[in-house]
């Protein structure tokens, strides 16, 4: 397929390329005050072999030239990319290697497009993508880029349409919203035609708001976005270092807490009006001040964020505002103990769980494996436990300790010891029995029961492994860890009983050990509390564990070894991962 152009022009050759403005017509480097009615716009769409302008190539160019709301020309050509077209791209676009075999190479197609678009302003849906490929062609041909900044219908849609009206600004979603006559098909000309209609519908929305020129359109912001932009001064004085930021409201209340690698850049992004979360726009409109805390590195910022969330419970944060609110499996203090779901952990507990039903399900599996009762019938002064099974051997009332003969206090104590061992990390036997039960049910073709058992077993493995990891960290009185810093040097953390006691940064060229010694000397005192995590908030301990186990991290010193149970649940994490994948 050769180039198809519905406008009369002379084909360019490489000899014509001199990089001068005269070749392409006089095109302003900025919009000036060009009337939208008089402006010549070329709406362009590309199909490519992939998403990288450097590594991938164009397979099709489609463009529509419009002026005053009328189509005055179209341009379409397949392009030989000079490289294989990946199967997923063929499936998406329908463009095969056979179709582009006789098509022009990108250099020839690009020059033809330049002639078609001379003197115009380019428009594209997600202009950064299309312009990236077109500019790359210009660079390879050593041709000066002759166009002013393009108009992007993604950006315009985000500024003109409300989130309620247009939750998505994908071309297909906008085409559906505006009920355009040409729907996008992942072919360049069809998509360019659809983009033209979307552009015209967007222009209709702002025509009665005094938007008359290309410059006014490019700089247009809705009233809501303008109110957000008016708050930019709140973030202009922030540093460019990592840390935590706090948006405060009219009565100095904390509205929102977040972390950032670059405080100024992150906070300024809230005033652009591009955040899809409606509550964030509402929060910014209420904000009167932005406070910040500079941090040595990402771990310190993450920990400080968690602590500030717990302290202030900001109205516009949805996560981590109640870090100690979870469910735990604990052994009751009854004469014949059983596993109970509780808000308060003891030293021998499993958790935390975010879902009470999941906690109860895992508790049931452990009760089955250890032989603990799940009934509430044994009295305070009982000398034995006896829940009789029915004639078929099934447990009456569902008690997991049902047996044909009474269970004495001494015999039951052995079962309790087994459950305690599981909670402390020796869970290999119970985990293997639960996995074997999945296989038995599947072999018996009881597939629904097998699936339920699989999901419960995976939840048990994941929770036990997580609890064992965090317990191993939290029992260590002091742990000093160093991790390479992106800019050179070392990120340093002093961890005591699963909590960050101090943090610092030894920059490139600075001896790290004196910094470590100063951090240890000034570190916060942490007294271990009750529970398997020694009082550490689970989210903070989990954040620290991830940080100290990432590639490159080194233990500088430890008051005792950081060890996991030899027969812990971590050995079966691969099984639980496969079980979760099977559920999808």
Residue written as tokens 């077993």?
457
d(CA 91, CA 353): 43
Q: What secondary structure letter does DSSP report for 133? A: H
384 assigned to active site: no
CA distance 38 to 36: 6
Helices 127-141 and 153-160: crossing angle in degrees, nearest 10, is 160
Strands 40-48 and 121-124: parallel
Residue 305 burial (CB count, 10 A): 25
- Are 503 and 297 contacting, i.e. CB atoms less than 8 angstroms apart? yes
CB 570 within 8 A of CB 468: yes
* Ramachandran bin of 25, using left for φ above 0, alpha for ψ from -120 to 50, beta for the remaining angles: left
DSSP annotation string for 95-109:
--TTTTTTSPBHHHH
Measured in degrees and rounded to the nearest 5, phi and psi for residue 77 equal -155, 140
- Find the catalytic residue in 186, 312, 485, 567: 186
| Tokens standing for residue 582 | 């099977």
- Do 96 and 104 meet the contact criterion of CB atoms below 8 Å apart? no
Rounded-to-integer distance, Cα 520 and Cα 86, Å: 55
H-type helices in 100-222, by residue range?
106-117, 127-141, 153-160, 171-178, 188-206, 214-218
Six token digits for residue 423: 């909670």
Q: Residue 444 carries which DSSP code?
A: T
State CA 569 to chain mean position distance: 27
Q: Which residues pair with 247 in a beta bridge?
A: 256, 290
- Output b/e per residue, 70-83; b: 16+ Cβ within 10 A: eeebbbbbbbbbee
Q: How far is residue 422's CA from residue 88's CA, in Å, rounded to a whole number?
A: 48
User: Max Cα separation, the chain?
Assistant: 104
C-alpha closest to that of 137 among 219, 28, 46: 46
Residue 344 in tokens: 């308060």
Which residue numbers are catalytic?
186
């Amino acid at each position: 397929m050769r180039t198809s152009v519905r406008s009369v022009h002379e084909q360019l050759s490489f000899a014509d390329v001199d990089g001068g403005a005269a070749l392409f017509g006089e095109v302003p480097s900025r919009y000036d005050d060009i009337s939208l009615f008089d402006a010549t716009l070329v709406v362009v769409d590309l199909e490519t072999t992939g998403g990288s302008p450097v590594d991938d190539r164009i397979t099709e160019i489609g463009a529509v030239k419009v002026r005053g709301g009328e189509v005055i020309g179209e341009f379409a050509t397949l392009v030989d990319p000079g490289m294989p077209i990946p199967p997923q791209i063929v499936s998406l676009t329908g463009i095969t290697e056979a179709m582009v075999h006789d098509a022009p190479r990108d250099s020839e197609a690009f020059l033809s497009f330049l002639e078609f678009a001379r003197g115009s302003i380019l428009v594209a849906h997600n202009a950064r993508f299309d312009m990236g490929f077109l500019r790359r062609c210009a660079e390879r041909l050593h041709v000066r880029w002759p166009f002013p900044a393009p108009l992007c219908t993604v950006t315009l849609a985000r500024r003109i349409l409300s989130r309620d009206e247009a939750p998505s600004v994908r071309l297909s979603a906008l085409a559906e919203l505006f009920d355009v006559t040409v729907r996008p098909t992942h072919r360049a000309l069809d998509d360019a035609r659809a983009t033209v209609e979307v552009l015209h519908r967007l222009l209709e929305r702002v025509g009665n708001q005094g938007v008359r020129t290309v410059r006014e359109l490019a700089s247009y912001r809705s009233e809501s976005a303008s109110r957000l932009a008016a708050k930019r001064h709140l973030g202009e004085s922030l540093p460019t270092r990592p840390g935590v930021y706090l948006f405060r409201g009219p009565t100095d209340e904390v509205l929102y807490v977040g972390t950032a690698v670059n405080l100024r850049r992150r906070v300024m992004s809230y005033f652009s009006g591009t955040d899809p979360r409606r509550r964030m726009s509402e929060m910014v409109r209420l904000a009167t001040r932005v406070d910040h805390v500079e941090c040595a590195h990402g771990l310190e910022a993450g920990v400080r964020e968690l602590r500030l969330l717990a302290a202030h419970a900001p109205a516009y944060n949805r996560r981590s505002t109640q870090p100690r609110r979870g469910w735990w499996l604990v052994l009751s203090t009854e004469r014949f103990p059983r596993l109970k779901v509780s808000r308060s952990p003891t030293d021998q507990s499993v958790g935390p769980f975010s879902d009470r039903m999941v906690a109860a399900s895992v508790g049931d599996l452990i009760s089955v494996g250890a032989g603990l009762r799940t009934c509430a019938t044994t009295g305070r002064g009982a000398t034995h436990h006896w829940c009789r099974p029915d004639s078929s051997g099934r447990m009456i009332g569902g008690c997991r300790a049902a047996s044909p003969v009474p269970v004495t206090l001494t015999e039951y104590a052995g079962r309790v010891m087994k459950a305690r061992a599981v909670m402390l990390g020796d869970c290999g036997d119970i985990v293997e029995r639960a996995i074997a039960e999945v296989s038995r049910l599947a072999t018996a073709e009881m597939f629904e029961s097998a699936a339920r058992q699989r999901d419960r077993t995976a939840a048990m493995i994941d929770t036990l492994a997580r609890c064992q990891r965090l317990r191993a960290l939290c029992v260590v009185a002091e742990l000093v860890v160093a991790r390479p810093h992106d800019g050179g040097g070392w990120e340093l953390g002093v961890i005591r009983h699963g909590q960050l006691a101090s943090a610092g940064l030894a920059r490139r060229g600075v001896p790290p050990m004196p910094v470590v010694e100063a951090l240890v000397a000034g570190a916060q005192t942490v007294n271990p509390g009750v529970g398997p995590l020694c009082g550490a908030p689970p989210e903070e301990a989990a954040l620290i564990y991830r940080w100290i186990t990432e590639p490159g991290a080194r233990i500088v010193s430890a008051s005792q070894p950081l060890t996991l149970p030899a027969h812990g649940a971590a050995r079966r994490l691969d099984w639980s991962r496969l079980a979760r994948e099977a559920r999808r």
